[in-house]
Amino acid sequence: MFDLTGKTAVITGAGSGIGAAIARLFAQRGAAVVAVDRDPGSAASTTAGINATGGRATAQTCDVADPAAVGALFAALGSNGRVDILVNNAGIAHVGTIEQTTPEDFDRLYRVNVVGVYLCARAAIPLMLRQERGVILNMASIASLIGLPDRFAYSMTKGAVLTMTRSIAVDYMKRGIRCNCICPARIHTPFVDGYLARNYPGREAEMMQTLSDYQPIGRMGLPEEVASLALYLCSDEAAFVTGQAYPLDGGVTAV
Catalytic (active-site) positions = 154
Q: pLDDT tens digit string along 2-17? A: 999 999 999 999 999 9
> Any idea what DSSP says for residue 134?
E
Percent of the chain with pLDDT over 90: 95
Domains of the chain from N-terminus onward: 8-185+222-254 (3.40.50.720), 188-220 (no CATH)
- Is 86 within 8 Å of 124 (Cβ atoms)? yes
Length of the chain as a residue count: 255
pLDDT score for 101: 97
Produce one character per residue of 194-222: b if its CB has 16 or more CB atoms within 10 Å, e if not.
Answer: ebbeeeeeeeeeeebeebeeebeeeebbe
- What is the β-pairing status of strands 85-88 and 134-139? parallel
pLDDT score for 81: 87
Q: What is the mean pLDDT of the chain?
A: 97
Q: pLDDT tens digit string along 101-157? A: 999 999 999 999 999 999 999 999 999 999 999 999 999 999 999 999 999 999 999
pTM (2 d.p.): 0.96
Q: pLDDT tens digit string along 188-234? A: 998 899 889 998 999 999 999 999 999 999 999 999 999 999 999 99
Distance CA 252, CA 250 (A): 6
In 23-152, where do the E strands start and end?
32-37, 56-61, 85-88, 134-139
